[in-house]
């Protein structure tokens, strides 16, 4: 199987820019395994397709507000830090509540030792270029306090084909690889 087998043209006017309200009004495609016939319904119709003993599994996960917009301590220039994963366990030189995360870092002149300030007193320092497009970033907060702060000041990332007001969800600043 090759990746190009999954390429197809999707007209921009068919890409939803926000969830429908109420959510159960979303479209539902029904494919008959016996005949191959396709029908277009709404999600609220799904109960018509269950049989006794069927199981419906719901995914109620939430996307982390992993996109942080800050400024360089030295110049005030904009820096975007996108949290990917917590480095675990933290290295021995990390003391106190500090945590190190593997991140994407956008903006000009990214480098090791760059210090960044965010809202609510969150601070970070880029400590390592992983040479794969990611950076290790040390934050001045950690644990549950860090997560609560991220939920407060972070932004939920959106794919680039979703176009919304830049205040609600600004476009990600791509790192130069």
Same domain for 85 and 45, yes or no, is: no
The answer to whether position 15 is within a domain reads no
Same domain for 148 and 71, yes or no, is: yes
User: What is the domain extent for residue 37?
Assistant: 20-49
C-beta separation of 155 from 65 below 8 A: yes
- How many independent structural domains does the chain possess? 2
CATH code, 78: 2.40.10.240
Same domain for 84 and 40, yes or no, is: no
Question: Is the four-CA dihedral 156, 158, 162, 166 of positive or negative sign?
Answer: positive
Per-residue pLDDT of the chain (177 residues; tens, 9 = 90+): 899 888 888 898 888 888 899 989 999 999 999 999 999 999 999 999 999 999 989 888 888 899 999 999 999 999 999 999 999 766 566 556 788 999 999 977 899 999 999 999 999 999 999 999 999 999 999 888 899 999 999 998 888 888 875 433 333 333 333
CA-based nearest residue to 23, from 8, 44, 48? 44
Same domain for 149 and 74, yes or no, is: yes
Q: Say how far apart CA 31 and CA 33 lie, in whole Å.
A: 6
144, two tokens: 């549950």
Q: Say how far apart CA 47 and CA 65 lie, in whole Å.
A: 33
The answer to whether position 177 is within a domain reads no
Q: Say how far apart CA 56 and CA 38 lie, in whole Å.
A: 21
């Amino acid at each position: 199987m090759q990746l190009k087998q999954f390429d197809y043209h999707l007209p921009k006017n068919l890409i939803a820019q926000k969830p429908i309200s109420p959510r159960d009004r979303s479209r539902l495609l029904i494919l008959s395994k016996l005949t191959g016939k396709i029908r277009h319904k709404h999600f609220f119709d799904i109960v018509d397709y269950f049989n006794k003993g069927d199981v419906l599994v719901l995914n109620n996960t939430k996307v982390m507000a992993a996109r942080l917009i800050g400024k360089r301590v030295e110049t005030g220039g904009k820096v975007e830090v996108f949290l990917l994963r917590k480095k675990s366990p933290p290295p021995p030189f990390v003391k106190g509540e500090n945590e190190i995360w593997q991140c994407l870092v956008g903006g000009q002149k990214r480098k090791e030792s760059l210090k960044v300030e965010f809202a609510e007193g969150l601070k970070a320092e880029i400590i390592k270029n992983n040479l794969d497009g990611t950076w290790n970033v040390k934050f001045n907060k950690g644990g549950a306090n860090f997560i609560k702060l991220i939920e407060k000041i972070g932004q939920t990332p959106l794919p680039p084909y979703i176009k919304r007001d830049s205040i609600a969800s600004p476009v990600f600043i791509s790192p130069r690889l």
